[in-house]
Structure 1
Amino acid sequence: MPKLARALSRLFPAAVSSVAQFPNASEAVTFARQYLAQTGRAVSVVPASRGFAVQTVGGLTA
């Protein structure tokens, strides 16, 4: 079953949308924790071209 789940995740990757961008990781993590507490939506902090981006994970994108 794990192979099937992995294959499906490669075919249909999770939709991500950028929420905010910060110059350092600690600010991005602080914002991500507050965003999660307020909205309950999963977020991730990823390196961006300048600083760090906070992105929502999953769900539908408009």
Structure 2
Amino acid sequence: MPHTLKVLADRLANDPDMGEPSALPGILTVMIDGDLFEDCPALAVATFVGPTGSRSST
């Protein structure tokens, strides 16, 4: 699982708006399919889109 999180962190560094809006303002959720990474369960990772994020919370 550490490799999966590193890959996700690298992708988020390049695309901080990656993910779907959640019910909470400023929070995006990225789903990781467990089938894509060996020995990793399916994960839902929530990220905070701060003032530098380009998505607006409307």
TM-score, scaled to structure 2: 0.28
Q: Which has the larger radius of gyration?
A: 1
Q: What TM-score results when the alignment is normalised by the length of structure 1?
A: 0.27
